[in-house]
Structure 1
Amino acid sequence: MTEPLDIERRAPVWEALSELFVGKELQDYDYAAIAETLRQSRYSLDELDKMLHTEVAPVFRGNLSALAVPEMEGWARDAIVRDIQAYLMRERTGLSRLLMRLSASKALPKVVSDRWQRIRPLVS
């Protein structure tokens, strides 16, 4: 990252996008609330998609792995911000840069992809 992130603006977006990684079934009101937060952020769908893939998914993807005991209700905003910032601020050696690119290019878990496809039209 060459430019500083606007954490105050990004934090609610990170929190909303992290909800896509919870273990419980999302309800219509969950989708509506996530979409409203993303709409209010004024980020474009492309920017939101990039944040989902490169900032949020690498940190929360493991919650939905076969071996995880998934978080069902979500995470506190301060924990989300701390974990994503720690991920983004890791020293970027050659190997860690490669691993970061591989993680970001990795397909989203199917449930997350399905949830994201349901939210996208609600944001635009």
Structure 2
Amino acid sequence: MQLPSWFPKTLGGGSVVFRQKLTRRLNGTKTVGFVSLRYTILANHFSPLNAGVRHQSKVSASLMKEERLKIWRALSDLFLDTEIDELTFNYIARSISESELSLSEAEEILWYEVYPVLESNLRSVAGVWEGWSDEWLLQNLPAPVRPSAIHGGSSIVKEIKQCWQQVAKAYEGQNA
């Protein structure tokens, strides 16, 4: 497989890097990108859209895959094609509390791991409403990220920010 010239061979001091080609369809457009993972499981993500830009999650790499799946599962409810209610916010807040993540760590997972993959469901005419399987979440999360994409003013970003405020309020109420 021929890698683009911008794709690094190593990440900082000769760390071992695994490369994987990703092909995804989004709104009928084929997108090809690459993901690099350090052996430590903490990921640096690359794609042609953010060539050379690295985002390294500050969330502890020691968070086991099972624990991360629980958080992904809970946060993914914000992207279902359903009406989100107080029960959903309480469930997400309880999942964060049980994971022993801080609220800011959970928010980072929301924006840098879950949002880039699932936000397109909210733009779909017939989006997923029953939820994603654990296998699907494990296979598709986390995803390559363009950090600037999550700070825009789109209606989806605004909606998720409003939902997050409700989750934070429920979290604070549960942990007061």
Q: So what's the TM-score if we normalise by structure 2?
A: 0.56
Q: Does 1:34 align with 2:80?
A: no
Superposition map of 1:112-123 within 5 A? 112-123=160-171
Q: What is the match of residue 16 of structure 1?
A: 74
SS in 2 for 1:74: coil
CA RMSD between the two structures = 2.1
2:46 is the counterpart of 1:46: no
Aligned match of 1:109: 157
Cα contact 1:64–1:109 (8 A) shared by 2: no
Deviation at 1:123, TM superposition (A): 1.8
Structure 1 contact 11–77 (Cα < 8 Å) conserved: yes
| Seq. identity, % | 25
- Give 2:115's aligned residue: 57
CA contact (8 A) 2:113 2:141 kept: yes
Instruction: Give, in whole Å, the separation in 2 of the partners of 1:83 and 1:103.
Output: 18
Q: Which moved further from structure 2: 71-80 or 52-61?
A: 71-80
Q: Residues 118 and 103 (structure 1 numbering): CA distance in 2 closer, same or farther, change over 3 Å?
A: same
Aligned pairs, number? 112
> TM-score when scaled to structure 1?
0.77
Higher helix share: 1
Relative contact order: is structure 1 or structure 2 higher (C-alpha 8 Å, sep ≥ 6)? 1
Deviation at 1:33, TM superposition (A): 1.4
Unaligned runs of 5+ in 2: 1-36, 42-60
User: Which residue number in structure 2 is paired with residue 95 of structure 1?
Assistant: none
Larger relative strand fraction: 2
Q: 1:101 to 1:112 in 2, by over 3 A?
A: closer
1:94 counterpart residue number? none
1:120 and 1:33 map into 2 onto residues whose CA distance is 12
Cα deviation per residue 1:20-74 (whole Å; 9 max; x = unaligned)? Answer: 1111112222221121111101111111111111000000010111x44211122
Larger Rg: 2
The answer to whether the Cα contact below 8 Å between 1:31 and 1:119 also exists between their aligned partners in 2 is yes
Match of 1:70 among 121, 127, 136: 127
The answer (yes or no) to whether the contact 1:53–1:105 under 8 Å persists in 2 is no
Superposed displacement of residue 105, structure 1: 4.2
AA matched with 2:140: D
